[in-house]
Structure 1
């Protein structure tokens, strides 16, 4: 009798565990149609532009977002509020070791580690963001509608050893100060 009950419990546990994976789906992000916009701030204004995804995927349990993973092509940093020589100078500086050091760190990654529903189609997410070989958690909101998702992230560059022009590391920068936080606005198509 005990064996029959134990066997029934084991069978039930396996069935429940297996059913949890039945609806698990990974959806690849269309990197050509998706867009990542960045905006950095300084005392005297801001600059903005785009950066391309190299790859990405979102994980779902049925229709519910459960995770995801993204690789960003750091060589694709593109300033869109400037043109000509000034654009080329800023793009080059952002790619240099003063900022993202793309020669040694050609990609950045984000792996979503926790997702909590915050309303219909809306989620609070936590992910491990790696920039310049340093990994730190980042919290952000993400919304999913059909085959599209949007997310907004605020990143503190000082956590990734990006110190150039930072008032957190240097005194007396005055109007040359570049704020530590920058924004990423992400539109995904999958």
Structure 2
């Protein structure tokens, strides 16, 4: 009798060792970013004013587990960044060209900026503090910022605001931190990003494997 009981316990434990990971994976949902509906707005300040513009979202995905944000990644197309606050076509084109050259983002060599979500800590209803790794010009640094998401059965919208220190990525042009005597030509070391990601559900590898079973 004792032998039979031990065998049943072992069999149950063996079965659970297979079922638990599957149950966990079933709760995971991958949302593919809609690059047409998503947007990134940037704002940079200087002593004499400020400029604003956009950069397209190239690709991305967000991962939810049991309805909670757990990970994701986003790629930003810097080659197509725009300036939106300057109406004069010639001046606008001049600034766009400058932002794309080696003084700033060097887009010919580094056309894409990348964000990888490392962790997402809930701070309230649908609100999180994101810790991630941001890569610009081939340099990766940690970044922390707040975000808020809303979801339904098929769609997710995430709104985030982040402050980026450009000097951490080797962008030192007219920075008072490195050139103290530039006076009113100084540009702030930080710039702001306002990002809206709109995403829809896509079948995750985990779901596919469960369905295959």
Would the TM-score normalized by the shorter structure come out above 0.5?
yes
1:91 Cα deviation after fit: 0.5
Q: How does 1:6-155 map to 2 (within 5 A)?
A: 6-83=10-87, 84-146=89-151, 147-155=156-164
Q: Equivalent of 1:172, from 181, 186, 195?
A: 181
CA displacement at 1:9 relative to structure 2: 3.1
Give the greater-gyration-radius structure (CA): 2
What per-residue deviation string (whole Å, max 9, x for no partner) do you get for residues 150-170 of structure 1? Answer: 001110101100010111111
Gaps of 5+ in 2: 200-213
Measured after TM superposition, the shift of residue 12 of structure 1 is: 2.3
* Unpaired segments ≥5 residues, structure 1: none
For the residue of structure 2 that corresponds to 1:185, the secondary structure is: strand
Q: CA deviation at 1:17?
A: 2.0
Give 1:15 shift: 2.1
Aligned residues: 190
For 1:7 and 1:182, the matched residues in 2 are separated by: 59
- TM-score normalised to the size of structure 2? 0.85
Higher strand fraction: Structure 1 or Structure 2? Answer: 1
Q: Relative to structure 2, which stretch is displaced further, 9-18 or 150-159?
A: 9-18
TM-score normalized with structure 1 length: 0.95
